[in-house]
Amino acid sequence: MKLHSIRLPHFNDSAEILTVKTIMPSKVVISMSQHGGVPCTPLVKEGDTVKTGQLIGTSDAVISAPVHSSVTGTVTGITEIINIMGKRNKAVVIETADEQVMHESVKPPIVNDRESFIQAVKESGSVGLGGAGFPTYVKLNYDRKLSNVDTLLINAAECEPYITSDYRAIIEEGKELIEGIKLIKSYLEIDNAYIGIEADKPKAIEQLTMMCSKEQGIHVKKLPSAYPQGAEKVLIYNTTGRILKEGELPVSVHCLVMNCSSVIFISKYIKTGIPLINRRITLDGNIINRPVNVIVPIGTQLSELLNFINVRKQPNRVVFGGPMMGSSVYDPETPILKTNNAVLFFENTAAGQEPTPCIRCGRCVRACSMNLMPTELEAAYDARDIEKLKKLKVNICMNCGACSFVCPAKRNLSEKNQLAKILLRNGG
């Protein structure tokens, strides 16, 4: 079996440039909802002084992740923001002080077994840094009676154009990646780890292969450069040959899948106790003079990034994430979340690509790695036909955008699927 995929141009101009450390914004806006699951409740109020790494948001819910201050400063308000998914949530606004001080609570956690390791990961605020933002500790805390996980899969595919934040993380922090893999393998008793990486990253492959040659049970798996190689189902199949069926989680096929930047973060957290307060993001797009990766405090606003970057002209479109799965952002006050890996600046707007009638070429069907029928799904959504949308399995669409990308009629197929899923969630 071969899963469908497409070839994309990559424009990875930031790949060989050392990451800039660190932009310090004049204020941060830290969302209480930057993970899959229940939003946190703020633990601070206006007028409080906070230090870097201090816990400022928490929740008792099982699926959630604590939020920490990314800067030292003064809380100037608790505000409501609309996040890039269009949801309202609370955010803590902090004016940055001149002197940055680490909070007293920041110290390496005591870890000596599986439970204490998972607890430490929980307290670190770690979420999946590949974009989904699922709390990491929940993923690690799978039921060992139900699933015997024998394979740790490290997602280093980074298949979207422009984005090189994972690549730079591997090049600059490869040692931490291997240490993180060893920690997870050891505490979770997983025999083998595979780092899945696309063939168009030869320097990273060479570096990792050399490092892994000295390790027991850690392997590099070179994958074809194809989109969406980093999608969980695709990565699992192309790395292990195991097939994830509809509704199944990776643990159902004995795999634990983690993004490479998440693993690097965990490795550093166990050593330092510094929670998830910064993010490496790629700044690129077709009007950037010098594409680069930067490390920014979580909560840095788009307006601060616009001050930092060197653009040839004012962008008409800004995308958080990649051009295939990212979201267009219109508010310069929009803050960086834990899950952001890129901000792209473009001259052109999304407008000007009016769809024309479908010519029944079938390219969208051949592009879909989930074997869906994008044309049929579009028709079912337009007719608001709930039963048909269910039958056509719109729920397993991962909004990869491949169908829209290949469509010569410029039909917004992927977008319609997102709307269809919202329609189903809201009961029609």
* Closer Cβ to ligand SF4, 273 or 401, answer by number: 401
For residue 420, the minimal CB distance to ligand SF4 (Å) is: 10
Q: Which of 289, 360, 387, 425 binds ligand SF4 (CB under 6 A)?
A: 360
420 touches ligand SF4 by CB under 6 A: no
* Closer Cβ to ligand SF4, 51 or 233, answer by number: 233
Q: What one-letter code names the amino acid at 225?
A: S
For residue 406, the minimal CB distance to ligand SF4 (Å) is: 6
126, two tokens: 């770690």
Q: Which of 127, 171, 372, 392 binds ligand SF4 (CB under 6 A)?
A: 372
Residues between 29 and 58 with contacts to ligand SF4, criterion CB under 6 A: none
217, two tokens: 């049970």
101 CB-near residues (< 8 Å, 6+ apart): 51, 52, 72
For residue 405, the minimal CB distance to ligand SF4 (Å) is: 8
CA distance 308 to 185: 40
DSSP 221-241: EEE-S-BTTTSHHHHHHHHH-
CA distance 107 to 109: 6
Q: Which stretch binds ligand SF4 (CB under 6 A): 84-92, 196-204, 261-269, 353-361?
A: 353-361
For residue 423, the minimal CB distance to ligand SF4 (Å) is: 15
Please count the helices (runs of H) and the strands (runs of E) in the chain: 12, 17
Our CA angle for 419, 251, 372, nearest 5°, is: 35
Q: Which of 344, 394, 337 is nearest to 368 (CA)?
A: 394
For residue 132, the minimal CB distance to ligand SF4 (Å) is: 15
| Residue for token pair 């079996």 | 1
Q: Which of 5, 66, 74 is nearest to 41 (CA)?
A: 66
* Closer Cβ to ligand SF4, 62 or 422, answer by number: 422
98 CB-near residues (< 8 Å, 6+ apart): none
* Closer Cβ to ligand SF4, 187 or 227, answer by number: 227
Size of the site for ligand SF4 (CB under 6 A): 28
355 touches ligand SF4 by CB under 6 A: no
313 touches ligand SF4 by CB under 6 A: no
For residue 50, the minimal CB distance to ligand SF4 (Å) is: 41
Q: Which of 139, 279, 363, 416 binds ligand SF4 (CB under 6 A)?
A: 363
CA distance 229 to 11: 17
Site string for ligand SF4, 378-417 (x = CB under 6 A): -------------------xxxxxxx--xxxx-x-xx--x
3 touches ligand SF4 by CB under 6 A: no
CA distance 367 to 394: 15
For residue 380, the minimal CB distance to ligand SF4 (Å) is: 12
233 touches ligand SF4 by CB under 6 A: no
Q: Which of 364, 362, 423, 421 is nearest to 394 (CA)?
A: 421
CA distance 297 to 304: 11
Distance of CA 43 to the CA centre of its chain: 26
Q: Which of 63, 361, 383, 419 binds ligand SF4 (CB under 6 A)?
A: 361
DSSP 155-172: EE---SSS--HHHHHHHH
| Residue for token pair 């001259």 | 347
Q: Which stretch binds ligand SF4 (CB under 6 A): 145-153, 190-198, 297-305, 360-368?
A: 360-368
140 touches ligand SF4 by CB under 6 A: no
Q: Which stretch binds ligand SF4 (CB under 6 A): 119-127, 203-211, 330-338, 358-366?
A: 358-366
For residue 410, the minimal CB distance to ligand SF4 (Å) is: 8
5 touches ligand SF4 by CB under 6 A: no
CA distance 403 to 399: 9
* Helix spans in 222-301 (H): 232-240, 260-272
Q: Which of 374, 381, 416, 420 binds ligand SF4 (CB under 6 A)?
A: 374
**Contact residues for ligand SF4, defined by CB under 6 A:** 358-364, 367-368, 370, 372, 374-375, 397-403, 406-409, 411, 413-414, 417
